Amino acid sequence: MIERTLFSEDHDRFRDSIRRFLETEVVPNHSAWEDQGYVDRDVWLKAGANGFLCSSMPEEYGGAAADKLYSVVLMEEVARVNATGLGFGLHSEIVAPYLARYGTEEQKQRLLPPMARGELIGAIAMSEPAAGSDLQGVRTTAIRDGDHYVLNGSKTFITNGYLADVVIVVAKTNPTAGAKGTSLLLVERGMPGFEKGKRLKKIGMKAQDTSELFFDNVKVPVANLLGGENQGFIALMQELPWERLQIAITAIASAQAAIDWTVAYVKERKVFGNTVASYQNTRFTLAEAQTEVQVARVFVDKCTELLMVGKLDTATASMAKYWCSDLQCKVIDECLQLHGGYGYMWEYPIARAYADARVQRIYGGTNEIMKELITRSMGLGAK
């Protein structure tokens, strides 16, 4: 294996701490969380107390001013144990950065410290019943009326939606201006007219609460505008490369975990008197999978280096997201096959990983959209 030079000894110690936390506080409870459809809020508080939330935020807002490699470590370790119920990544490295980059001082002081402590849980509401990857098709409106906006519409497939205390809502403040009329609003739990729908039942990621959100004449104070009015689409485009790289990071960690589980399984499982590992097909399948994951990891690590110096562009992040999520599904499928019938049993981690992985090719922009973005960088955009 190629040595990963991204991480320091401090990152390695942080990785050890996260592993202990996950093995103690998450893994024993994850199956029960899958049954109930969401994780307990208590695990958020424990994660906050251990410094695992919003670690890259400035210290004055409750973070540790840590570099994003600490967040990468957390994502990799969560993926390694397939703890897909935890919405920590979205909370800490999607919602919180929007606040840190575009929020007013009052917004940051009021919301970021309790988010870092796990007292407030964050979500972002982009997708709608008729607008998924196409953010320009958003129909939710926020019409200004004096010192507030009147918000109407609905969102769906919202991660952390059921537990969320603060939601960044993508809405049209100028419905006739297309993407140029998009704004971001901070909608908080308890605002009249803000309702959470049922928790959606999914193929996988059963412990991760995913909900519908409804806005019926919600009066959102102008002070809750995040960034400039009608500047929301620009903000979304600036933040999406990091979001998509996060998907690639978890995809590769998940694929590696699948290989590791399978290597252990085939060494023990016997077929016709021989271990499954003794068959050439098994060894070659795993050799190919390990090679592909290693190649992908080198690329993802390079993308992370680019991110750290502010040079990760949309096309490169799109390549990472589409390629790695496709590879994740391919590798997990091959590993499940090597488990035979047991691979289809829910109590085996490979079965859960198989179900959980499929959405990676959809959220954050479908892989088909990723290919469109890549072709635009090649001068091949549709006219």
d(CA 104, CA 73) in angstroms, rounded, equals: 29
Tell which residue, 202, 222, 221, 200, has the closest CA to residue 211.
200
Beta strands in 253-321 (DSSP E): 270-271, 274-275
* H-helix segments, the chain: 9-21, 27-36, 41-49, 68-80, 88-90, 96-102, 105-117, 232-268, 280-308, 314-338, 349-357, 367-377
CA 160, 163, 165, 167 torsion: positive or negative? Answer: positive
Q: What pLDDT does residue 42 have?
A: 97
- Burial status of residue 152 (CB atoms within 10 A of its CB: 0-12, 13-18, 19 or more): middle
DSSP 23-88: IIIIHHHHHHHHHHTS--HHHHHHHHHTT-SSTTS-GGGTS----HHHHHHHHHHHHHTT-TT--H
Q: Residue holding tokens 């729908």? A: 197
Can you name the CATH fold of 123-229?
Answer: Butyryl-CoA Dehydrogenase, subunit A; domain 2 (2.40.110)
Which CATH number does 9-120 carry? 1.10.540.10
Written as six digits, the tokens of 15 are 């990785």
- Give the CATH H-level superfamily of domain 234-377: Butyryl-CoA Dehydrogenase, subunit A, domain 3 (1.20.140.10)
Cβ pair 70, 14 in contact under 8 A:
yes
d(CA 309, CA 16) in angstroms, rounded, equals: 26
Q: What pLDDT does residue 371 have?
A: 96
Written as six digits, the tokens of 65 are 């001013």
Q: What pLDDT does residue 382 have?
A: 65
Q: What pLDDT does residue 383 have?
A: 59
- The type of residue at 3 is E
Q: Taking the C-alpha atoms of 145, 148, 153 and 156 in order, what is their torsion angle to the nearest 10 degrees?
A: 160
Rounded to 5°, the CA angle 123-172-95 comes to 20
> Domain segments of the chain: what residues?
9-120, 123-229, 234-377
For every one of its 383 residues, what pLDDT tens digit does the chain have, with 9 covering 90 and above? 788 899 999 999 999 999 999 999 999 999 999 999 999 999 999 999 999 999 999 999 999 999 999 999 999 999 999 999 999 999 999 999 999 999 999 999 999 999 999 999 999 999 998 776 667 779 999 999 999 999 999 999 999 999 999 999 999 999 998 889 999 999 999 999 999 998 899 999 999 999 999 999 999 999 999 999 999 999 999 999 999 999 999 999 999 999 999 999 999 999 999 999 999 999 999 999 999 999 999 999 999 999 999 999 999 999 999 999 999 999 999 999 999 999 999 999 999 999 999 999 999 999 999 999 999 999 997 65
Helix (H) or strand (E) holding 130: none
Q: Tell me the CA distances in angstroms from 145 to 141, 222, 245, one per residue in order.
A: 12, 9, 38
Written as six digits, the tokens of 255 are 């694929």
Give the other-Cβ count within 10 Å of 324's Cβ. Answer: 29
Catalytically active residues are 243
d(CA 292, CA 383) in angstroms, rounded, equals: 35
Give the three-class secondary structure for 44: helix
Written as six digits, the tokens of 28 are 């024993």
DSSP symbol at 182? E
